[in-house]
Amino acid sequence: MTKNTFTFAILTFNHEAYIIEHLESIRFLIENFGAAYNVNLILADDGSRDQTVALAERWLLVHGELFSNIKILGDGINRGTCANYTRIWPLVEGERFKITAGDDIYACVNLFEEVEHLKHNDFFSGLPLLLIDGKIRDSRATIFNILATDIIYKGKKFITRLQGISSINTPNLFCNKKFLMDSELSEFIQRHSVTEDFPMMVKIANTYENISFYQSSKIYVYYRRTSGSTYLVRGSDFDLDKLKVFDYMLSRETNWLKRLRLKNRVYCYKLNNKILKKLLNAGYYIYLFQAVASALAIYKAFSKTPSNTAIHQAHYDFIVKKASAFPNSHQGQSIT
């Protein structure tokens, strides 16, 4: 029986403190759920100034047999987040894949099974858990808004979700392989600096008809937040990227009312006052009204997703134990 191929692609930049944990979380998935797959690994490093690539190579000397094919892109050049992201695309083999940052951690869910069940969707995503200072944290407010978003925009075009106030957890996001074949999409993403996911979704929503999105109640990735997280240290670049995307949406929108809402959103986004950003944003009032109108459905969905951080904390602690043992038990290994 021919095995399907699954590709794990890793985006790294100065992740020496986390890369072994990330790789160990991949190892866990392969050893526990991946017997029916040929698993490939791609590591795209964006010019790290630390030992990220060297540590990954050292780990692969020991565990490289887990993978059918390994590609390491580590020429020391800093291309930027978006260029580093899209250069992975031509290297992804097969229809099943996940691109994830090298400081995040895969959860203990059977990721291969999830992809098989949901691969017919253009996009699907899970619910978030944060990883902060070694602790798994459950943001119930974020989960509420993700579920509310899914109910409010159910049956509507994907671009409507993106134009309005909404919440999609992108570290847990999967997309269809067909988008990776779109050179125009790749070029569009590369016009941005540090934000690849929002431009990608907006461009796809404006290019393709009837984009399908499925919101899963499962958790696929723990999103690590540190003082060095890009969204903190390069916040102004995030803002510029978002404004570029808003301008693009405006250029594509012909409905006067939707254009007015987008212009209002852009105006509020440029404000320095955090309170006024929300008070003057008509989108928040529309979102609130829709949430109230769908309150019962949202409550039912939210009540079915109880906090289960203990299970995920135990899994992360297991991954940390494996990662911590690696440098000590393989000190004699060297890269050739």
Q: Judging by DSSP bridges, how do beta strands 213-215 and 105-106 pair with one another? A: unpaired
- In 3-state terms, what secondary structure has residue 72? strand
- The closest alpha carbon to 103, from 212, 228, 6, belongs to 228
Measured between alpha carbons, how far is 295 from 288 in angstroms, rounded to an integer? 10
Q: What is residue 231's predicted lDDT score, i.e. its pLDDT?
A: 47
Q: What is residue 235's predicted lDDT score, i.e. its pLDDT?
A: 58
Pick the CATH number of 4-228+306-328 from 3.40.50.2300, 3.60.21.10, 3.40.630.30, 3.90.550.10: 3.90.550.10
Q: What is residue 336's predicted lDDT score, i.e. its pLDDT?
A: 35
**Per-residue CA distances from 103 to 137, 162, 212, 278 (Å):** 16, 27, 29, 31
Helix (H) or strand (E) holding 60: helix 52-63
Helix (H) or strand (E) holding 137: strand 135-137
Q: What is residue 272's predicted lDDT score, i.e. its pLDDT?
A: 92
The residues spanned by each domain of the chain are: 4-228+306-328
Q: Judging by DSSP bridges, how do beta strands 37-45 and 69-73 pair with one another? A: parallel
As averages over each run of 10 residues, the pLDDT of the chain (336 residues) reads 92 96 98 97 97 96 97 95 96 96 97 96 97 95 96 96 96 96 97 95 96 96 80 71 96 96 96 94 97 97 90 97 80 43
Report the predicted TM-score, pTM, of the whole model to 2 decimal places: 0.93
Q: What is residue 255's predicted lDDT score, i.e. its pLDDT?
A: 96
Name residues whose C-beta falls within 8 Å of residue 222's C-beta, 6 or more positions apart in sequence. Answer: 104, 105, 106, 107, 129, 130, 131, 136, 312, 316
Measured between alpha carbons, how far is 19 from 168 in angstroms, rounded to an integer? 25
